[in-house]
A and B are shown apart, each in its own frame.
Chain A
Amino acid sequence: MGSLDFTDQLILLDGAMGTVLQQRGLPAGERPELLCLTRPELLEEIHREYIQAGSRIIYANTFGANAHKLAGTGHSVEEVVTQAVRIARRAAAGTDTRVAVDMGPLGELLEPMGGVSFEDACDLFREVAVAGAKAGAELAVIETMTDLYEAKAALLAVKENTDLPVLVTLSFEAGGRTFTGCTIPSMARTLEGLGADAIGLNCSLGPDMLLPLVQELCGSTRLPVVVKPNAGLPDPVDGHYHMDPEAFAQALFPCWEAGASLFGGCCGTTPDYIRRVREVLAGRAPVRRAYRPVSFLCTPTVPLRIDGVRTIGERINPTGKKRFQQALLEGDLDYILDVGIQEVDAGADILDVNVGYPGVDEADMLPRVVKKLQSALDVPLQLDSSNPAALEAGLRVYNGKAAVNSVNGDPAVQEQILPIVKKYGAAVVGLALDEGGIPHTARERVDIARRILEAALAHGIPREDVWIDCLTLTVSAQQGQARETLAALRAVREELGLQTVLGVSNISFGLPNRALVTETFLVQALEAGLTLPILNPNQKAMMDAVAAFRVLSGEDDGCRAYVARFAGESAPAAPAVPAADGGLTLEEAVIRGLRADAARLARAALETEEPLSLVNNRLIPALDAVGSGYEGGTLFLPQLLSAAQAAQAVFEVLKDALARTGGSMAAKGALAVATVRGDIHDIGKNIVKTVLENYGYQVVDLGRDVPAQAVCDAVAEKHIPLVGLSALMTTTLPAMEETIRMLKALPEPPAVFVGGAVVTPEHAARMGADYYAKDARQSVAVAREVLGA
């Protein structure tokens, strides 16, 4: 049997299995996946009816046959999948209909939304895919996904472990987003990059309401597009879907006109629907679509078209930054996230991420930083490393389409990095240098750029994903080189039509008034065709220059973004020191939660005061005043936290000052905090952490949903004398008790305090905790008692 051609013909899929099973009286509460063991003849009959109705691909009844959903049934994935695929194959025997192994969502959300790690998800899907392929499935289907990350895990599992062609369909709401906020372009470009053979939409809505989404998808991908809608919407009172086969098929027709070429039905559809779709689409061939490739990066929720100037923030990089180096060595991911937050708030469209530093295991650190950044920031990332293992680890866990910085003209480097770029569907920056170094003429650099493009194309990386960096050299050292860089830029744009990347800051090393030179060079480069400047977005003048350039180039239509950026700035600039600042003291700034003021006053105070005295004599008393107000009922939790954050800003000033002089804060003592196994809501634990950190305690945040053993390991390894545990649900109190029991059995048992919505002093005592903290403020009292003030 030859491979199935998705591109030159329309292909009919099947309709719902669950709906037909219900019609035939599937008993309540029965697991549909287990029917392959209990009612094989019923499944085979339904498959056969779909084949008779015209289905060329049928989905084996394996939608929920993963180890997570089968847990407790007493049946293995291999057993269930093998049976289900065999049944479908029996039904298809003697026809040209193909059998797909079907994979739906795992049934539990992936990190950071839920508790399943990305790698665990890959493993769970791998089991299904491998069993399906072994049992003779001819393709794999991943469907009804609402989380792009989960779809990626499933797709990697199929691609890495089988050679089955694979269709991936997500389930969208009428607004054009999935439940997790994923957009259609993000889905399309991410899955296309990862090597799906066809992509599309299934479930959620009827074909009429899916049409605008199908149109958007057809404009967002080169791949064949699948549409497998519901028979409209179900009525809550009687459970019936509102579209009949005729209405369904007629509403599907415009999806064909829009360019879709694989059609089927989801919830509420039956063989009658498929038969009618076959009749309505009889004699039709796929509609040719006008797809125009555009350079693109994304997160699931932020699709970023690179059809104008987009800025890349350069600050997540340890080079020349003592405080950043210290954070890397200490594994202080919160600090790195803060750097990213500042860049995004300053307007960066993309963040470059470089965590390479002596003493740091980059292949371990890069994926951790990617996850951390993506947990709280919604911008695409450019992973900056020369270490292939680190790049692969980072790209693997990245959710969306990322960029890689960088390859160059050296074939050895290309051979290491380009296959990784291709596998994960990333864009790639090519530096216009090679094993011979940086050429001095523009022409030589363009030649290298062309070779990089050819190598990328040969690896199957599309042209729009190849970006060239023509390299900035320091003008005070090599004055003629600025012009060569600009000339190369212009040629790469005009001759190769590629996106161009350039870090501009280097240009001005060694000169006075560096900002002026850098900004002028930036504007020159933009005019020469630079589309992706790498810069420090916290330098407002640089971002202002980009905003002005977008006006002059016409990209900022109607000058709207520019006007919005400077709205309210027509008044004379405010004086550097606000007049209202008159009597504000550091203590008051902390008490009132004024972060910026607190940081500024701390910097001023450091000129005359030692850091330690600043903490003990001014900061802590201020926090205590807030704490007393909180206990007395005159201040409330949000105000307690505001004060804590102002204090945090002061600590950051102190750490920065000390890092520059090579010193460090004498930490007061460490404690660990964790939300126990099973509990994934962690705002309470984070509140405790925020407050304790600002009393100067070193808080080791073990995270949420933490197994007892992991708490014990961390405590033993770091000799931590105090542990705070939080539980939110009555169902997780046993996990808390277990954790305490294991902690108390350690050779150096730590003191334990507990808290959380359902925990009472009685629970605490019964479980063997040393302290009960009813709120974050009380945890300070506990820490003082155990660790000292």
Chain B
Amino acid sequence: MELNLEEALRYAGVPSPPPAELRRETAEVAAGLTAAVTPRWRWRLLSLEHTAEGPYLPELDLLLPGRTAALMLKECAQAALLACTLGAVFDARLRALQARDMARAVLLDGCGSAWVEAGCDAAEEEISGRLPGRFLTDRFSPGYGDLPLSLQPALCGALDAQRTLGLCVTDSCLLTPGKSVTALLGVADRPQMARVRGCRYCSMNQTCQLRKGGKSCGLS
């Protein structure tokens, strides 16, 4: 697992290429973080049915509404459900650093976002390794496209995420601890095209500061 510094700096509001001094400081923050906190994840394989109302997960009795899920899962008969988190220990570090040094805290916050993404990448590799001969779609999460945040409680419940990861959902469908991700990956029998990783599919596409400046976050 590797924390992508450029990505961390972008999350902290510093475009590429970053000033050398900030890059050095971020590398320091990242080294401290990766030594102390390891992303944890859980996943499970679910069967998937296609109904008139959209893709349906029978084990969870859960319908995935909207265009995003339908498009992503079009060719899939199964889906992997993934949750990944840096845990409450990251939040504690971020709180402590905010009290000492807000500038550095912003860098840590960016590093945390990049680190949980690195965890998701590693989880995706693990899933892929357990499903030889099958092909995964891009991973996509509640909040991307039109996949609603209101799915979070059901997705976390399906992974027993409080017990297995210490991951909870608030009444407003916010994941706690802060650096946490839930995602779905379709499992298909033939290679899947990349779809999610572009601004068109991102729920931030009207508000993204990078996009307003004519740039992208690099995920496209």
Are the chains A and B members of one assembly?
yes
The answer to whether B88 has its CB under 8 Å from any CB of chain A is yes
The answer to whether B52 has its CB under 8 Å from any CB of chain A is no
Give every chain A residue within 8 A of B102 (Cβ-Cβ).
Answer: 641, 644-645, 686-687, 690
A775 to B213, CA, bound (A): 14
A334 to B102, CA, bound (A): 13
Query: Contact string, A164-179, partner B, CB cutoff 8 A, digits 1/0?
Result: 0000000100000011
The answer to whether B51 has its CB under 8 Å from any CB of chain A is no
* Pairwise interchain contact B168-A109, C-beta atoms closer than 8 A: yes
| CB-based nearest B residue for A112 | B95
Give every chain B residue within 8 A of A529 (Cβ-Cβ).
Answer: none
A679 to B178, CA, bound (A): 11
| B interface bracket (residues with beta carbon within 8 Å of A) | 35 or more
A627 to B64, CA, bound (A): 45
Give every chain B residue within 8 A of A337 (Cβ-Cβ).
Answer: 99
Q: Say yes or no: A731-B172 contact (C-beta < 8 A), given A637-B14, A638-B22, A683-B98.
A: yes
Please provide the chain A residues from 635 to 683 with a CB less than 8 Å away from any CB of chain B in the complex: 636-642, 644-645, 677-681, 683
* Pairwise interchain contact A636-B95, C-beta atoms closer than 8 A: no
The answer to whether B49 has its CB under 8 Å from any CB of chain A is no
Please provide the chain B residues from 97 to 123 with a CB less than 8 Å away from any CB of chain A in the complex: 98-107, 109
Give every chain B residue within 8 A of A171 (Cβ-Cβ).
Answer: 163
The answer to whether B185 has its CB under 8 Å from any CB of chain A is no
Tell which of B62, B103, B163, B168 touches A638, judged by Cβ atoms closer than 8 Å.
Answer: B103
A179 to B177, CA, bound (A): 10
* Pairwise interchain contact B106-A109, C-beta atoms closer than 8 A: no
Give every chain B residue within 8 A of A496 (Cβ-Cβ).
Answer: none
Looking at B59, B91, B94, the one whose CB has the most chain A CB atoms below 10 A away is B91
| CB-based nearest A residue for B18 | A636
A732 to B103, CA, bound (A): 26
* Pairwise interchain contact A683-B107, C-beta atoms closer than 8 A: no
Give every chain A residue within 8 A of B89 (Cβ-Cβ).
Answer: 179-181, 301
* Pairwise interchain contact B166-A179, C-beta atoms closer than 8 A: yes
Give every chain A residue within 8 A of B99 (Cβ-Cβ).
Answer: 334, 337-338, 341, 375-377
* Pairwise interchain contact A774-B176, C-beta atoms closer than 8 A: no
The answer to whether B194 has its CB under 8 Å from any CB of chain A is no
A301 to B95, CA, bound (A): 15
Query: Contact string, A110-146, partner B, CB cutoff 8 A, digits 1/0?
Result: 0011110000000000000000000000000000101
* Pairwise interchain contact B88-A147, C-beta atoms closer than 8 A: yes
A735 to B62, CA, bound (A): 27
| CB-based nearest A residue for B100 | A341
* Pairwise interchain contact A637-B106, C-beta atoms closer than 8 A: yes
The answer to whether B96 has its CB under 8 Å from any CB of chain A is yes
* Pairwise interchain contact B163-A758, C-beta atoms closer than 8 A: no
| CB-based nearest B residue for A683 | B109
**Known pairs A236-B42, A639-B22 / 11 extra A-B pairs, C-beta < 8 Å:** A107-B168, A181-B89, A301-B89, A334-B99, A337-B99, A341-B99, A375-B95, A376-B95, A377-B99, A638-B103, A641-B106
6 CB contacts below 8 A, A to B, read A203-B163, A237-B131, A637-B106, A638-B14, A687-B102, A731-B173
Among all A-B residue pairs, the 9 with the closest Cβ atoms: A179-B166, A678-B172, A641-B103, A637-B13, A376-B99, A29-B61, A642-B103, A636-B14, A180-B88
